[in-house]
Structure 1
């Protein structure tokens, strides 16, 4: 089976940890994506930011997306995979943690991202269906 490197989307853009959520939302709009990795000044992954995070964790809490830094929403150690991780293991991680996107790291730097769509394009249909079902399950 393929590795993360073979399946990942390489043209992955980060939002800087000090950029505002309003800037992140504009990036999402312009890139037509619903999530962005949050990268620090050291080019290391700090977390993932979704459009839902902006709405639920900022706007719904009366926060100001023009004043709130993306890094403020980065919590805990981000779940990511190494570029040489076998796809079977990547899919297990996505299923176990119920995440739709997983950043791909090489030498501690972000090199890509794997989404459910990437899995669907590269993995047999039966296995893709199982992964999507497990990610979406209510637990």
Structure 2
């Protein structure tokens, strides 16, 4: 299974945006992330919808921060990306007839739910600004 690197990529881009004097084009961000500009636009669109970044089309346009990094939690970024799945683990079938399969599914579902909650709690406690030491 392919890993989803959007969270770390977006965090990387936001740290760069914070250091820039003006907006960054999708092409500039794509160079930073070693990807293409279409990928950048798809990643950043959820952040724009969440009010984290703004975009301006045309000459002199690009992506810029809508809020200071101190006000953006990692959880907000994760949610703006559509809360990507954390695990490749899942149940064999959703509604098995076998009671033992149901017990196995319930245990798996509960463990995954607890892990998801702990992950999101951890993300909620850290802002993007805390990722680097400024100054």
Please, what TM-score do these two structures have when normalized by structure 2? 0.30
Q: Which structure is higher in strand share? A: 1
TM-score w.r.t. length of structure 1: 0.29
User: Which one has a larger percent helix, Structure 1 or Structure 2?
Assistant: 2
Higher relative contact order (CA 8 A, sep 6+): 1
Query: Larger Rg: 1 or 2?
Result: 2
